[in-house]
Structure 1
Amino acid sequence: MELEQYIQSIEDKLQQLFRKLQLAQADNAMLREQLTLHQQEAQQQQEAIRALDEKLKLAKIATVTQGNGLSEDEEAFRKEVRGKINDYIREIDRCLAMLNA
């Protein structure tokens, strides 16, 4: 009889461990889903930040290009923006030349 009780005790412990394993696996799956959602949210927020930064740059450009009597910082920014625009135009011209070749 003692052996049967010992075997039953082991079976009960195994069942408890199996239930704990199932709960841990379910928790793990739920946490993985949450992690994926948070990662997607973070990526969307980063994209939104980039878009807002771009809008801010465009707003600064619009403000600087429309203003008269600019400060030294604004004038420097204006020159920098014009330089970048000229660089972009040259790059576009090179691409068009390559396409036409």
Structure 2
Amino acid sequence: MALEQYIQRIEDKLQQLIKKLQQSQADNAMLREQVLEHQEALRRQEATILSLDEKLKLARIATVTQGNGLNEEEDAFRKEVRGKINDYIREIDRCIALLNS
């Protein structure tokens, strides 16, 4: 009798462990799905940030062309952009000169 009770207790504990395992597996699957959703949301947010950064750069360039800088940082940026534009123009002039020769 004691052996049968011992076996029954082992079977009961085994059933409990199986239930815990199944619950843990279900929780794990749910958490994995949440992680994937969060990763996708993060990718979308990063894309939005890149898009907004590009729009900000374009807006800053537009302010440079308008010439109404309000502070030293904008003036410095304006000078930097104008310098880059001048470099591009010089490079284009060199290319045209090479094509003409």
Structure-2 residue corresponding to 1:77? 77
- With normalisation by structure 1, the TM-score equals 0.75
| TM-superposition CA deviations, 1:34-81 (whole Å, max 9, x none) | 01110111121111111101101100111111225x467334312211
- Structure 2 unmatched runs, 5+: 96-101
Residue 11 (structure 1) aligned with residue 37 (structure 2) = no
Q: d(CA) in 2 for partners of 1:2 and 1:88?
A: 93
Paired residues for 1:1-101 under 5 Å = 1-67=1-67, 70=69, 73=72, 74-85=74-85, 90=91
Q: What number of residue pairs does the alignment pair up?
A: 91
- With normalisation by structure 2, the TM-score equals 0.75
Q: d(CA) in 1 for partners of 2:27 and 2:40?
A: 20
- Structure 1 unmatched runs, 5+: 95-101
RMSD: 2.5
Q: d(CA) in 1 for partners of 2:47 and 2:10?
A: 55
